[in-house]
Structure 1
Amino acid sequence: MAEKSISFRAHLQSNTTDLLTNAGIECTHTVRLVTGLVSMLAAYTEEGTPLSPSVFICNSISDLLKMSGVGEHVPLSAAVDTGGAASRILKFAAPLCGGGWSIYVEREGDGRRCKFGVFCGSNDPSSLTVDEVVLGEPIKDFPIVRVAQNVVNKVEVRTSTGSAVEFRFNDDVDIEMLNNRSQVANLAAAASRDLDTPDASFTGFMDRILSSSIRDSHGTLIAVVPRSSTEIPAALSDAVKLDTPINLYERYKLHMEEDKTAVSVSRLQVASKLLSGFINSDGITILDSGGQVLGYRAFIKSADADNPATGGARTRAYAALSALVGNGLSGAFFRSQDGRMDSNFFPGM
């Protein structure tokens, strides 16, 4: 009887090589490092606890921090061989990540050796994230690679040239282009469409806190109602309605008007964390198009089952929620437990 062992190593290595070459990194040692990180981050745990740090590979941590504008770093190693460093890097640094901390890997000249540690940016929720700053526009002669788990068994490698590949360790079909970012960006735009004065910086803020909260959830449903609505739609009337809506836009405006004081940062942080808690709860979180949180833990009846929106029922609930867009809702957003996203916005978003 024939026996066979199949590895995805060649496919992983060839795609990583192409991606890094296009970013200006022609280095087999760095390719080995990235493929090792991708393989381990697909389902990484320490002492049984799942961990999903972001790893930034660069040529200078000092320059990386200068580019991000603010932050600090903590070195955790002397120089080690780059190609075989993935396991050591995650073992030493992954448990330290969270609360804005990420892992950095600083390559030496020819890439054969590297140093690593952890770094963080600003704790101000209104500030651009490190991802937005250093991966936003290509920087000549300073390539950056970020490796991060999107969800379990899906790891994305993104470079400062704007290119990205998501490696999937499951049976999902291949797709031409990742669209998860645009789904969340459209949600942020829907939740800030009807401000008194259009404010692109607030939309960016909403994008950041929604992205973080949705990424950390185990699947979620979010509804957006028009700001002109005075009541939560009847179909969502079993929601835990907030007597006083959390007005994220007012907090954001105060934060800017007060010149980003410690008090205003704290005020914005607690609201952001509470929104994350709502999104992590069962059921549907309800926002309005003026930057407010109206309620959470709403459930909607679907044609298939009268069950809470969890597991397979979440998909059915999204179908029922989406059917209300244009008839009481201005938007509906869905993320499954395995990371798949879908959304429906009115009009024409």
Structure 2
Amino acid sequence: MRHAASVMNGSDPGAPGSPPPVLSFRHLLTDAVGTFLDEAGMSCAQTADSIGELIVTLSRYREEGAPLFPMAFMGDDLGQMLALLGGKDPIAIGIGPRSRATVQRALKQCAPLGQGRWWALYLLRVPEGFAYGVFRTDPFPLAESPLERLRRTEEAQAGVVGVLQLADNMLELRAGGGLCRHVYLSGARVEGASPPAVLNELAEAITDGVASASLERARGFFRRVLFEVMQSSHGALVAVLPRERAGSTLFVDGIILPRPLDIVALLDRYHADPTDSAATAVRATGQLLRGMMATDGITVLRADGCIVGYNIFVRHPESLAHQPSVVGGARRRTYEVLGAAVGTELTAAFIRSQDGDAACRRA
């Protein structure tokens, strides 16, 4: 969904003392959301306007200066919504007219509760307007998120619409039956692959050598952990080695683990015997990977799902800094070095820049 400023309101800019013209794309967004709701079987002009407000507000949502990434869902039947999304223990917070102001109040009161995939925001269409609150979700790295469950819902008119910020100014508007729009706001770049597509590429590269019996578990784990990294405010670099490799001549500094950490073995152990101890190991490993990717340098993984090292640095050829085609700082130049090694030393390279752009290069 791409929008351009197209409406000019205000008096003649040449008239003395007249206010300046106003450019707005809001009506385009509302019209597009209205069409989306028609396809989802949830037509309503007030709902379209309110979801437009939800999209714009979530595009760079912050409380006390900290970015928040709540999942938000709208529907008509709370029981149906919870069954579809795997939600539990709903908590009613408030109610108000079907308006932008109610959406703003719902976010203010509920968004801080939705950090870390523990709780999601719901907006329920009722005769009085919107009733809103939160419901509990399962943040376990092997559990599908509510949005993942909505993505695989085959029924086109399932009665639920979800909104999630993918990165700054990039959002996903989703209903059942594969009905989806990616919304780009405030100059967000649209020429590259979408964040979910990039993360799928990276997750596939990391698990390319995983046995078929473990493959879906491993890919789901990496997709969910990597998505949380995408939502963070810092950049990240990942290099993926071929199977059985313990390092590369590219790496000149950093921390290589004495023994690669076999994530797939931890996931298989939990699958075979889902004890509290095995579940804790899975959660802790997800947090470990997120922490590694938050450090400076490159996180190094392997095509069999192992973590090899982190805080890794490579030597930049002097010629790279003078190439006009390389735009960006040290992280982007490092990605170019890694990308040039894909197909020889590496099987994949990934970058998430600090402004939210992401790219993955595979052999």
TM-score normalised by structure 1 residue count = 0.89
Work out whether residues 240 and 298 of structure 1, in 8 Å CA contact, stay in contact via their aligned partners in 2.
yes
Q: 1-side partners of 2:87 and 2:65: how far apart? A: 33
Give the 3 Å change call, closer, same or farther, for CA 214–159 of structure 1 in structure 2: same
Query: Among residues 40, 65, 83, which one is paired with 1:48 in the alignment?
Result: 65
Residue 27 of structure 1 deviates from its aligned partner by 0.5
Whole-angstrom distance in 1 between the partners of 2:225 and 2:66 = 24
Residue 134 of structure 1: how far off its partner (Å): 2.2
Correspondent of 1:277 among 288, 291, 312: 291
Change (3 A) 1:19 1:195: same
Task: Say whether residues 1:125 and 2:153 are aligned partners.
Answer: no
Partner of 2:300: 286
- Further displaced range: 179-188 or 156-165: 156-165
User: What SS does the aligned partner of 2:163 have?
Assistant: strand
Q: Letter of the aligned partner of 1:239 in structure 2?
A: G
Change (3 A) 1:65 1:173: closer
**3-state DSSP class of the match of 1:246?**
strand
State the secondary structure of the residue aligned to 1:209: helix
Q: What do residues 239-263 of structure 1 show as CA deviations (whole Å, max 9, x unaligned)?
A: 21122322110110010011x2222
1:107 aligns with 2:121: no
Quick check: which has more Rg, 1 or 2? 2
The count of residues paired between Structure 1 and Structure 2 equals: 337
Distance in 2, Cα, partners of 1:342 & 1:45: 25
Greater shift in the superposed pair: 142-151 or 315-324: 142-151
> Quick check: 1:58–1:142 contact (8 Å CA) kept in 2?
no
SS of 2:210 mapped into structure 1: coil
1:44/1:52 contact within 8 Å kept: yes
Indicate yes or no: 2:233 matched with 1:211: no
Kept after mapping to 1: 8 A contact 2:167/2:356? yes
Q: Which residue of 1 aligns with 2:10?
A: none
Structure 1 residues without counterparts, runs of 5 or longer: none
Answer yes or no: is 1:189 the counterpart of 2:204. yes
1:23 equivalenced with 2:40 (yes/no)? yes
8 Å CA contact 1:239, 1:296 repeated in 2: yes
Change (3 A) 1:106 1:193: same
CA distance in 2, matches of 1:185, 1:27: 34
Residues 1-349 of structure 1 correspond to what in structure 2 (within 5 A)? 2=14, 3-69=20-86, 71-77=88-94, 79-84=95-100, 85-100=102-117, 101-108=119-126, 113-139=129-155, 141-172=157-188, 174-175=190-191, 179-198=194-213, 199-229=215-245, 231-258=246-273, 260-302=274-316, 303-305=319-321, 312-346=329-363
Amino acid at match of 1:28: A
List alignment gaps of at least 5 residues for structure 2. 1-12, 15-19
Q: C-alpha root-mean-square deviation of aligned residues, in Å?
A: 2.3
**Matched position secondary structure for 1:33:** helix
Between 1:320-329 and 1:98-107, the stretch displaced more is: 98-107
Q: Deviations over 1:175-225 (max 9, x none)?
A: 5x8532122112111111212555223222222222222333522111110
C-alpha distance in 2 between matches for 1:140 and 1:150: 22
Determine helix, strand or coil for the equivalent of 2:250.
helix
Paired residue secondary structure (1:90): helix
Aligned equivalents of 1:93 and 1:70: distance in 2? 16
Cα distance in 1 for residues equivalent to 2:88 and 2:60: 28
Would the alpha carbon gap of residues 332 and 178 (structure 1) be closer, same or farther in structure 2, given more than 3 Å must change?
Answer: closer
CA distance in 2 between counterparts of 1:225 and 1:72 reads 43
Q: Kindly tell me: are residues 173 and 290 of structure 1, through their superposed partners in 2, closer, same or farther at Cα, counting changes over 3 Å?
A: closer
CA offsets 1:117-146 (integer angstroms, 9 cap, x no match): 112222432122211112312335422212
The CA distance in 2 between the partners of 1:166 and 1:70, in whole Å, is 24
- What amino acid does structure 1 have at the position aligned with 2:241? V
Aligned residue for 1:234, secondary structure, equals: coil
Alpha-carbon distance in 1 for matches of 2:176, 2:65: 33
> Cα gap change, 1:152/1:174 in structure 2, threshold over 3 Å: closer, same or farther?
closer
Distance 1:127 1:50, change over 3 A: closer
Cα deviation, residue 160, structure 1: 2.2
CA distance in 2, matches of 1:55, 1:114: 13
